[in-house]
Amino acid sequence: MPEFEMKPRLSPETRAALAAAIGVVVLLVGAAGVAVSWNRIAARYWAGRLAKGDARAVERLEKLGEAAAPALVRLVERTDPWTDNAAWFERAARLLGKTGAPADRALRAAMRRAEHDPARRARLYVMYHTAAPYLARDKGFPSPQRGVRALRALAARQEADGRWDAAKGGARGADAASDVEVTALCAFAYLGAGYYPGQKSIYADTVARALAWLEKQRGEDGRIGIGRLRDHVLAGMALGEAHGMARVEDYKSAAQRASDWTAAHGHRSGGWSDRPEQEPDVLTNVLVVTQFKSAKISGLNVEAKTFQRALNYFDSLTVKAGEDKGLVRPRPGEAPTPHSALAGAAAKLWLGSRPQDIEPERVFRKVMKRADVVIADPFDAHHAGLVFFQCPKPMWPIWRRIQRNAFGSSADGYDEETGFWRSRSPEAQRLGCVGTTALRLMAVNVRYGPASPPFLDI
């Protein structure tokens, strides 16, 4: 049998060179893996230093680039930014914005993971909307065009007699908003945007017809409507604001009688209740305080004892000591909520308290822990804007950015096709899209009065 000689296909020199090349590749891959791991470790370290105020952290995280995104999101997940101050939160938002798509993906994934952890999800929600302008993710922040479209949409829904039909506007539930409440809110939306009766503007007649319809709902005793106190209070506020802006005597008389009726019908235990069979609640009482404050500013008569009654009610619900010191409870014995804290803070500001006296940092921390819930509730979002606008930095800039992005996002209820805002919150369902849109317009235009161009602040 012949013998065959096996000859190597590669020379020893070639095999040695190939082995060396493979070794180099393995070393490079290993080094890259080590570098990636090191970058992740470094990103976590410098993210922690950022939260502690280390001035070097921003520069180091910028150099780490995309590797910094997961570390910053992890920091937001695990750290409450409102325990001390929120300065690092703003810096983290800017850094996330510079990383672009990786930050967007990391934030979305983290919010999905936090589905059953409301506090963590709220922190991520706040960061998501705080970082939005830097990410340039959503081109549709609320704009003058959206505000104009919303006003046009509301005007198109107005009935021939001047009211807005709450049921047609989507108000639902056993406690659904009435035509009086929704019409008063819509009138407020136009007044807040700078439109009022007698003015040469496109919506002057819209407002005039709404106010005329509200006046027709007034009884001989001065009460407007026959339902909840909230209906009467909001209608009285709208007439008082209109008198302050247009100086129409008919509005003055109606607003004065409405204010007098409210003052005379307080609850026996203090404060005011939405219905006679109910106990007082913070939302009804902050609306009552706003009615009195609006009446006073418009030149109407409100007795000092009326303001004192309201102040006594909120003082009785204020926490006197502890972590929630200065915050208002929803009811005696209950812990403060974002809803009650905002209502109490707004009422105290209208009653003459200075911003520093309402414990603004504690209110801000309480709200930020459930910012997604607050934004979804039309009344709470409106009160948050009014309160934080008067508070020191960084509260208002942070809230304003969250609000602008949330109100401009289709995910948070803005419908590009119809021009209305919608929300799944119970209060928004009760109000319907018409009432919700009116309150959204009021929230994004916190500077009331004709001196401010419409939607200057959107």
Domain ranges within the chain, ordered by starting residue: 17-135, 144-444
DSSP string, 388-456: HHTSPTTHHHHHHHHHHHHHT-GGGTB-TTT--B---SHHHHHHHHHHHHHHHHHHH--S-STTSPTTT
Q: Rounded to an integer, what distance in angstroms lies between the CA atom of residue 190 and that of residue 339?
A: 25
Tell whether the model's pLDDT for residue 377 goes beyond 60.
yes
What's the mean per-residue pLDDT of the chain? Answer: 82
Q: Average of pLDDT values for 304-330?
A: 94
The pLDDT tens digits for 154-204 are 999 999 999 999 999 999 988 899 999 999 999 999 988 888 888 888 888
Q: Domain 144-444: state its class.
A: mainly alpha
Q: Sorting pLDDT into bands at 50, 70 and 90, what band is 26?
A: low
Give residue 448's pLDDT.
Answer: 34
Question: Is residue 21 very low, low, confident or very high in pLDDT (cuts 50, 70, 90)?
Answer: low
> In 3D, which of 161, 202, 155 has the Cα closest to residue 179?
161
Contact 197, 242 (CB under 8 A): yes
Angle between helices 282-297 and 338-350 (to 10 degrees): 20
Residue 5 one-letter amino acid: E
pTM equals: 0.76
72: pLDDT confidence band, cut at 50, 70 and 90?
Answer: confident
List, in order, residues 6 or more apart from 412 with CB less than 8 Å away. 375, 376, 406, 423
H or E segment to which residue 343 belongs: helix 338-350
Angle (nearest 5°) at CA 382 between 380 and 388? 95
Bridge partner list, 332: none
